[in-house]
Amino acid sequence: MIRNIARCLTLWMLVWQSSEAAAATTLASTPQMGFNNWNSTHCRAEFNETMIRGVADRLVSLGLRDRGYTYVNIDDCWAESERDAAGNLAVNHERFPNGLKKLADYIHARGLKFGIYTSAGTLTCEQPGGFPGALGHESQDAALLASLGVDYLKYDNCNHGTLDARQRYRAMAVALRQTGRPILYSLCEWGDNRPWLWAAEPDIDANSWRTTHDIEDNFESMLKIYRQNVVLETYARPGHWNDPDMLEVGNGGMTPTEYRSHFSLWAIMAAPLLIGTDLRKIDPAALAILSNAEVIAIDQDPLGVQGKRIRDSADAQVIVKPLADGSQAVALFNPSEHAATLTVNATELGHAAAERYTVRDLWSHTSREYTAPLSATVPAHATVLYRIRPAQRAP
């Protein structure tokens, strides 16, 4: 009898643990995709309801929603500078005259999700001044966001004094869970306290955490952030992602070659893909980069592995990512100022030298066969992104 009871308890615990694991990965089982206004507007007057509605419409009409870009996130400066009489955050009605609930409804009606921003401090990050932060108001603010129909929270890291980061982010995690609404939890802690070591723990269970400070729209910034994030592959997994910040593709500070590298590297690093350009006026070249279904598939692969860098030199960065169907993604990135021939041997890729493989170039959309080694001449600042699988043998 006692043995049977023990067996039942063991089975119950296994079921409970598996259900808990499933719940933890329901949100962001693959890296989140969508839009955030900050990189294109910051806090300027053009950030308003008309813009966000227009972006939601363009996500649908440009086919980006169907590529996986489902979150429409608003960043800092959406609130009034003071809380209302009840202590609630108040929406800036100059920017959002119809309020955020109607905006959320508009976004939801288009098959999209609504995201919002606040900070784990007394004020948000906008300078000068800032807007009311959530520190000390976590339960009240989480309940308000849930009532507005929020699906995503970007939680920043300004104006917190010396309070412990883990304590601050745990308080909001608890508050979000208490609402009963599934809200993707994105920590914007900048990597200052190495959140990859603690943000995925059950007391916080964040879906992503920033590993770097803010990206800027230039190659040097993108490269610096890539180098900081690429070494953290052991911490990424379904439901929990390293976040090297939002995409700059389309904002004009990099060349098309550099933007293709930016997008390729974020994809092979299994990073969140959040468009940061105003989609109402995006140019065709940038749209083609953001719409590349074969590159998106590398980012969204259900195995949920961040690519591992296997080569690190001045003109050769090689990153390899195993994929759920048994194939591999391989990025050959040349960060130098001159063209370089990048060669990877079969052993580095875990291949048998005599085996034949099919190599798919995800930017030229062409396929070829190779045995070994894998080689390409890569222009300065460019990335060649391949999907490699064993070639089909003739019957």
**Cα–Cα distance, 29 to 70 (Å, whole number):** 14
> Is 299 tagged catalytic?
no
Q: What pLDDT does 372 receive?
A: 77
Q: Is the pLDDT of residue 268 over 60?
A: yes
**Cα–Cα distance, 226 to 28 (Å, whole number):** 21
Does 352 or 213 have the greater pLDDT score? 213
Where are the chain's structural domains? 26-299, 308-390
Going by pLDDT thresholds of 50, 70 and 90, the confidence category of residue 19 is very low
Return the CATH superfamily for domain 26-299.
Aldolase class I (3.20.20.70)
pTM equals 0.93
Q: What pLDDT does 62 receive?
A: 98
Question: What value does the mean pLDDT of the chain take?
Answer: 93
Catalytic residue selected from 105, 214, 315, 361: 214
239 dihedral zone (left: phi>0; alpha: psi -120 to 50; beta): left
Q: Are 211 and 191 in contact (CB under 8 A)?
A: yes
Q: What pLDDT does 393 receive?
A: 53
> Strands (DSSP E) along 182-314, which ranges?
184-187, 208-210, 241-243, 273-275, 308-313
**Phi then psi dihedrals of residue 299, to 5 deg:** -65, -40
Q: Are 63 and 112 in contact (CB under 8 A)?
A: no
> Is 57 tagged catalytic?
no
**Cα–Cα distance, 245 to 231 (Å, whole number):** 15
pLDDT tens for 202-226 read 999 999 999 999 999 999 999 999 9
Is the CATH number of domain 308-390 2.60.40.1180? yes
pLDDT tens for 280-298 read 999 999 999 999 999 999 9
Residue range 362-381: mean pLDDT, rounded: 93
Residue 40 DSSP symbol: H
In percent, the amount of the chain with pLDDT more than 70 equals: 93
Catalytic residue selected from 76, 141, 151, 156: 156
